[in-house]
Structure 1
Amino acid sequence: MSTNEPATSMRADAATAARPTASHDPHHGRRWLALGVILIAQMMLLLDATIVNVALPSVQADLGFSDAARGWVVTAYLLAFGSLLLLGGRLADAFGRKSMFVTGLIGFAIASALAGAAPNISTLITARAFQGGFAAIMAPAALSLITVIFTDLKELNRAFAIFGAVAGSSSAVGLMLGGLLTDYAGWRWTMYVNIVFAVVGVIGSLALLHNTADGDRPKLSMPSTVLGSAALFGLVFGASRAETAGWGSTITLVSLIAGGVLLIGFLVLQRFDRNPLVPLRVLADRNRGAAYLTLFLGQAGVFVLFLFLTYYFQGTLGYSPLMTGVAFLPMMLTIIVIATLTQNVLVKHLTLRVIIPGGLLIGGTGAALLAQTGIHSPYAAWVLPGLILAGVGIGSAIVSAVAVGQLGIAPRDAGTAGAVNNVFQQLGPALGIAVVSTVVATATSHYLGAHGSTAALSATMHGYSVGFWWAAGAFWAGAVLSVALIRSGTRLHHEADQPEPLDEFVGGII
């Protein structure tokens, strides 16, 4: 057993000392039902992103807008969501997690109704921006509610396992649901369906959730709020523009450089601000830092895989959106099984310094295997094993990283930690897809230049392969950083008399 274990356990004990006991916790008796309500809202957010992407061609045909405007249907949401997440997290800490959660649900439903009824592209883009803003209020509140509702750390592990399994499987469900709604009900129902989720979520929230009474609720700082939001806006906008305008364009460079400079200024300000938007104590812990970097790199790899696999299934193999969702199902089922196994079994025998890097190594191996696929590769022989290995990595490493990002956090900072968690999960895919899309386009162009225009399909497949290798690299880079940063002996929970037969053996290897 590592000599650092007692210190790690003491830190966990100190952090959980402020948690309400079961007898004083108003959520305790119906905590699993409360988790169900949170999952409904989270599923709504995750389904929405995939459904909209599937429906975009039909939306464009109906409203008659340009390809350039089409990108803003996605970008408007991402800009509002990414830039307002830190504010949303602090609002949950300051004004109550239930209050902000319900506000986010209601606002998201109204914005979805506006988007579904949009008569033109301007209205649709505006509605999507409002959706992103209310999502930024709701998402941090959801994570922080889980953190404060489950006072027993073993149950908290299970709750995060369920949360991660639902999050991981929502993309495939979104593909299938988006295809069904677009084909049989019309694209407007891809927006209206959010209202159903939101109504159920609001009713459940009013019945089951409570605003916990934190005695030292933080106040909001206007300078920190403006600076932090502007920094994230610059980074997300720059990454979005890089996909369409290129990395060398003036607007891309100015946005990214300004976002980076503002982010540095924001972090400096947090040290001196009496009411910081993100207290540095949230970021200073090595384990949480490792978790956030894992989420940044791991989610970048995941979304790159999703993007180019979707292109491969639909563009190369000719799958429909519905069949594409079915093709992803083995990965999603693997995520559900592995997330449950990890949080209920593996955490009892292995430390997080083993689980997270190990999962990322396996996920990277899956991405590398997908890089070997060709135009005529059998799905069962090449694609399926890669999907399953990637699912193992997501279900173990990334789900665990979400939990570690909230580990040891004081209740007054739970919303902020949830926001930071979400920020890294958003910035990773935004920057990762922008970078890898550019690399893939260059690789495809070079292949065409070397082999001629008759090799267009092979060139496209070569580009996909390059993209999968970059996804593998993101997973493996996360593995290296996490094993270097996570403290030896760190666990999601620990019992003094619990046997640990595998810890020293596996820990010694890594």
Structure 2
Amino acid sequence: MTGPEQDVGAEASTAEPGGPPPDPRRWKLLAVLATVQFIIFLDATIVNVALPSIRDSLHFSEQQLTWVVNGYLLTAGGLLLVGGRLGDMLGRRRMFAIGAALFAAASILAAVSANAETLLVARFVQGTAEACAAPAALGMIALTFTDPRESQKAFAIWGGLSGLGATLGVVLSGVLTDLISWRWIFWINVPLALVPLVLVFVFGKESRMEGRRALGPVSAILVTGGMVAAVHGMLQIVTHPVGSAEVLLPLCGGLIALAVFVAVQAKSAHPLLPLAFLRNRVRAAGYVGLTFLNAATAAMFFLLVLYMQNVLDYSPLANGLAWVPYCLTFLLGLQVALATMPKVGARAVITIGLTTAALGMGWLALIPADGSFWSSLLPGMLVLGFGGGYTFPATQTAALSGLSMQDAGLGSGIITTLGQLGQVVGLTALVTVSLTVTADSGASGDEAVVDGFGVGLGIAAVVLLAGALLAAATFGRANRDVAKLART
């Protein structure tokens, strides 16, 4: 493990002078792995616009409908850390293949669902598939791209496709639901999962940690049960009072289980999560940046989709197409980050990116009841999209710095788990605040709705600013200009 004084690029490299040459197939492998990551993030948001059509087609109750989203988040959030560690022990290529196969099978089941129960089972299996595939894929990338400059580019592509997948999910959801059928939001996943399942054995090598270790059942049960319970408690905040038993019992029970898990890790000779792994300040800054960005943007997607449909009366198709400018500026931000990060360093990129995103979110917080796309939404979406795209590569580079053959899956599981938790917390907390303000508003109709949405989006802007400040402070002396590395 490198010391806290080293810069992000140096920390990200495991290459030794005179070591083996880089794998000539590494960029093809990246394309294969990133395809599955793309559809995982695509699937996380692609159901949003289609939910009313799914409800009408399969006769969902309102309570059941929330689980189309929550079931996925709950399963993935609870299993990602264990999935990452299993990849370290059993083989990352093997776990990626299992995850891709599960995702394809679950997508087929979702597409042919004849009732609500079948679709919900499919969504739980999709969450399990993410827990297998995502940490394994990210761990393989961290170990394949050992040159610091190449790893920055690889992580940027990975992070950019993740964010782009989440954004395109909203676009495709509207287009496919309006022009064909909601079932195609799941059919589209099948080839995108099966092709990488085959090609990973062509371009990827198996990798696993040295020595054989068993996954301690107590640790696995504690962390999985604790995560599932805590996430479930947070998700209940949308439909139940914060002080209700439905919220407090699973939330407190989950937090207690996680506290016991930490105590067990501190005393274990072979911990599932070595606590020293979390003390790296560079990685911690990446965790902060990604978690805060995911929390704010998850709530933004949800609230703006509702605003377009319920206030501006957009069709699913119009709602989906409205996100195209956001996608384009996200890609632009990604390209600018690739060009500037070697010159200014990850710390500056994360700080500038989150601050820029906060400005765009602040504009969106001012949406009026009689607003229009061009004046009320487009300026904020453009700025927010650029800031999000600019931030993603640096958070990935920082959060995955210094990973070794022993802990690549674990490190990838941590960042993926925190990304999911950011979405869950942001979605539940900010949407709940928005709905509460709407219910308590003295206004009526659309005025009450935008009052609540404005408060939620305003808090999201504050979250982004807080993330920028906290990430910059967390880097501390651990950050050095990456340009120094580029000159060596």
TM over 0.5: yes
Q: Deviations over 1:441-466 (max 9, x none)?
A: 2211222xx34xxx311111111111
Judged with a 3 Å threshold, the aligned counterparts in structure 2 of structure 1 residues 17 and 321 are, in CA distance, closer, same or farther, namely same
- Percent identity, aligned pairs only, is 34
TM-score (norm 2): 0.93
Deviation larger for 473-482 or 204-213: 204-213
8 Å contact kept, 2:177–2:185: yes
Q: What residue number does 1:508 align with?
A: none
C-alpha distance in 1, partners of 2:134/2:221? 20
SS of the residue 2:49 aligns to: helix
Q: Does 1:364 align with 2:358?
A: yes
How far the C-alpha of 1:22 sits from its partner, in A, is 7.1
Specify the code of the residue in structure 1 equivalent to 2:124. A
Moved more, 400-409 or 49-58: 49-58
| Structure 1 unpaired stretches of 5+ | 500-510
CA distance in 1, matches of 2:312, 2:42: 24
2: CA distance, partners of 1:486 / 1:298: 17
Query: Is 1:127 matched with 2:122?
Result: yes
Corresponding residue of 2:237: 242
Q: Is the 8 A contact 1:88 1:140 kept in 2?
A: yes
Give the counterpart letter for 2:191 in structure 1: V
1:282 Cα shift?
2.2
- What SS is found at the alignment partner of 1:211? coil
Look up the match of 2:333: 338
CA–CA separation in structure 2 for the residues paired with 1:76 and 1:410: 33
- Matched letter for residue 8 of structure 1: Q
Gaps of 5+ in 2: none
Partner of 1:305: 300
SS of the residue corresponding to residue 205 of structure 2 reads: coil
What one-letter code is carried by the residue in structure 2 that aligns with 1:410?
S
Question: Is the 8 Å Cα contact of residues 173 and 320 (structure 2) preserved in structure 1?
Answer: no
CA-CA distance at 1:494 after TM superposition: 4.9
User: Secondary structure of 2:263's match?
Assistant: helix
Paired residue for 1:431?
425
Corresponding residue number in structure 2 for 1:37? 32
Q: Superposed, which structure 2 residues align to 1:216-235 within 5 Å?
A: 216=211, 218-235=213-230
Structure 1 residues 358-417: Cα deviation after superposition (integer angstroms, max 9, x where no partner): 221111111111112213334333422211221232122233112211011222111111
* Counterpart residue identity of residue 325, structure 1: G
Partner of 1:503: none
Correspondence 1:172-321 to 2 at 5 A: 172-212=167-207, 214-216=209-211, 218-321=213-316
How far, CA to CA, are the matches of 1:207 and 1:359 in structure 2?
37
Amino acid at match of 2:103: F
Shift, 1:144, TM fit: 1.0
1:464 aligns with 2:464: no
After TM superposition, the structure 1 stretch with the greater mean CA deviation from structure 2, 465-474 or 272-281, is 272-281
Partner of 1:77, secondary structure, is helix
**1:379 paired residue number:** 373
1:307 to 1:298, Cα distance in 2 relative to 1, 3 A: same
1:8 correspondence with 2:16? no
Q: Deviations over 1:287-337 (max 9, x none)?
A: 212221222222111111111111112221122222222222222222212
- Tell me, in whole angstroms, the C-alpha distance in 1 between the residues paired with 2:150 and 2:15: 17
Once the 2 structures are TM-superposed, how far is the Cα of residue 190 of structure 1 from its aligned partner? 2.3
Matched, 1:59 2:54: yes
- Residues paired across the two proteins, number: 487
Is the 1:114–1:127 Cα contact (8 Å) retained in structure 2? Answer: yes
Task: Specify whether residues 411 and 222 from structure 1 end up closer, same or farther in structure 2 by C-alpha distance, changes over 3 A only.
Answer: same
Which residue of structure 2 lines up, in the alignment, with residue 391 of structure 1? 385
Is the 1:220–1:275 contact (alpha carbons within 8 Å) kept by the matching residues of 2?
A: no
CA distance in 1, matches of 2:406, 2:11: 14
**Equivalent residue letter for 1:474:** V
Query: Equivalent residue of 1:54, what SS?
Result: coil
Asked if the contact 2:88/2:409 (under 8 Å) is kept, the reply is yes
Deviations 1:176-221 (A, max 9, x none): 3223333343333322222111111112212111113643465411
Normalised TM-score (structure 1) = 0.90
458-467 or 168-177: which moved more? 168-177
Q: Do the aligned partners of 1:102 and 1:205 also contact (CA within 8 Å) in 2?
A: yes
CA contact 2:312–2:372 (8 Å) conserved in 1:
no
